[in-house]
Structure 1
Amino acid sequence: MPKPEDIYCVAAEWLVQPGQADTVRRLLREAAAAVRQNEPGNLVYTAHQSADEPERFFIYEQYVDQNAQIAHRAAPHFQDLVLGQIVPLLAERKTSFYRLLL
């Protein structure tokens, strides 16, 4: 188990273009399955869809360390599903990085 201070966290907020929420939801499910299957450095990968604004998504991720998160971004499934297919459907994208405290 990694030390808590090594755990690297990502919080992403996406607003998808009108009419694209179903497609993004489907692609996020594929991405999450690929992360869980292929990335031993990933501890948590959860995606959420706003109950009030269906075009708004929140993704929360935890990695054993920053290097595991860098490997995630280089993974073929991230390049294809997230950067190649999801990002073009977004109207807004914000990503923040954190270190676990407790």
Structure 2
Amino acid sequence: MAYTVVAHYRCAPADETVVRAALQKMREQTRTEPANEAYEVHAVVDEPGGFLLYERYTGRAGFEAHKAAEHFQELIVTMVWPLLTDRSVTFAESV
């Protein structure tokens, strides 16, 4: 059963370049994870500093492994999250 994550990240426009670069690196690293089926990063139109992430894994365990990965801790927890002004995440399973 596929496990999907949709995240909305918002940062100050001044931090957009740093967040964008970190998310692009994250995409490269995540796509090499065995359980990852998709990892897409989008800049939100007409919202400076807005990003939409679409992630899909083979199951919840794959997503948990993703969160435990060194690159997640380095790029997301340490670099991106401290720069965010807002973050919302939706989790879904295929039916």
TM norm. shorter chain > 0.5: yes
Structure index of larger Rg = 1
Match of 1:30 among 9, 25, 28: 25
Q: Are residue 58 (structure 1) and residue 52 (structure 2) matched?
A: yes
1:73 corresponding residue in structure 2: 67
Q: Are residue 88 (structure 1) and residue 74 (structure 2) matched?
A: no
What amino acid sits opposite 1:44 in the alignment? A
**Structure 2 counterpart SS, 1:57:** strand
What amino acid sits opposite 1:29 in the alignment? Q
What amino acid sits opposite 1:87 in the alignment? W
What amino acid sits opposite 1:20 in the alignment? D
* RMSD of aligned alpha carbons: 0.8
**Number of aligned pairs?**
95
Gaps spanning 5+ residues in structure 1: where? 1-5
> Offset of 1:17 from its aligned partner?
2.2
Identity of aligned residues (%): 35
**Structure 1 counterpart SS, 2:79:** helix
Gaps spanning 5+ residues in structure 2: where? none
Contact 2:13 2:48 in 1 (8 A): no
What amino acid sits opposite 2:16 in the alignment? A
- Give the TM-score of the pair, scaled to structure 2: 0.96
What amino acid sits opposite 1:22 in the alignment? T
- Give the TM-score of the pair, scaled to structure 1: 0.89
In 2, the alpha carbon distance for the partners of 1:80 and 1:29 equals: 13
